[in-house]
Amino acid sequence: MEVLLPFCGDLPAPYSQWATIAELFFLDFTKYRQRIKKKKKYVNLEEADNQTIDRYRNEVAYLNKLQQHSDKIIRLYDYEIMDQYIYMVMECGNTDLNSWLKKKKSINPWERKSYWKNMLEAVHTIHQHGIVHSDLKPANFLIVDGMLKLIDFGIANQMQPDTTSIVKDSQVGTVNYMPPEAIKDMSSRRENGKSKSKCCLIRDPKQRISIPELLVHPYVQIQIHAGTASLKIAHY
């Protein structure tokens, strides 16, 4: 069982006076106001199977590993893993990208390009550290103060140091957002995307455009003119 408890506040100081993170979950944080929003995540492992337990442990391990490397990864402020429970204090977002897209009637060019760049930067970071997320999709990008941050590392995998790609025996993740080479039946897929999206859908990973190449593509270059509030955005 997983319980998410959002709150806005800072942890009591000195932090060391509290024996465990678990004890913090039963405190009233409302008087410790701060601009950063945090989310308390409590997971009961008593009735969880081994696969579920491994997913939660994976999430903690990968988030902890990536904290210092990118602000496009959701913040994990602290955690405690016990035999039957996991306690996590995490960054709290405004909404996820999937929910945001459903509510938007139109998306302005700045939002589209900015969020696309945020996603590229997040994925580039995890790949640099040998991590394959395995479930990249809009619902797993959280909007935090106008910036996208990657969440949910439960089914992520660590690549071996000498490995450049992973081919899985079974399909893992959300079908609509899997990489082309991971989907067995591609016959019904429509080829009606624009050139910038088509280059991301080439089935052979060796021929497909890379994330570093996408990060320097003119499409994501947003230039702010000095002394003005206008944005120079190339349209493709």
54-68 pLDDT, tens digit each: 888 888 999 999 999
pTM: 0.71
In the chain, which segments carry CATH 1.10.510.10?
Answer: 95-233
Query: What CATH number matches the domain at 95-233, 1.10.510.10, 3.40.50.150, 1.10.10.10, 3.40.250.10?
Result: 1.10.510.10
> Is-contact 27 12, C-beta < 8 A?
yes
14-29 pLDDT, tens digit each: 444 444 555 555 544 4
Is a pLDDT exceeding 60 seen at residue 77? yes
* Confidence at residue 64, expressed as pLDDT on a 0 to 100 scale: 92
154-200 pLDDT, tens digit each: 888 887 665 555 555 555 556 666 666 666 554 444 443 355 567 77
CATH 3.40.109.10 fits 2-91, yes or no: no
Query: In the annotation, is 49 catalytic?
Result: no
Task: Look up residue 228 and give its DSSP letter.
Answer: S
Of 78, 135, 169, 204, the active-site residue reads 135
In the chain, which segments carry CATH 3.30.200.20?
Answer: 2-91
Q: 16-29: buried (b, 16+ CB within 10 Å) or exposed (e) per residue?
A: eeeeebeebbeeeb
List the one residue out of 157, 174, 144 whose CA is nearest residue 73. Answer: 144
Does residue 206 sit in helix, strand or coil?
coil
Could you tell me which residues are beta bridge partners of residue 6?
A: 39
* Confidence at residue 33, expressed as pLDDT on a 0 to 100 scale: 39
As a whole number of angstroms, the distance between CA 151 and CA 138 comes to: 10
Cβ–Cβ contacts within 10 Å for residue 155, how many?
A: 16
Q: 39-74: buried (b, 16+ CB within 10 Å) or exposed (e) per residue?
A: bbbbbebeebeeeeeebbebbbbbbebbeeebebbb
110-136 pLDDT, tens digit each: 999 999 999 999 999 999 999 988 889
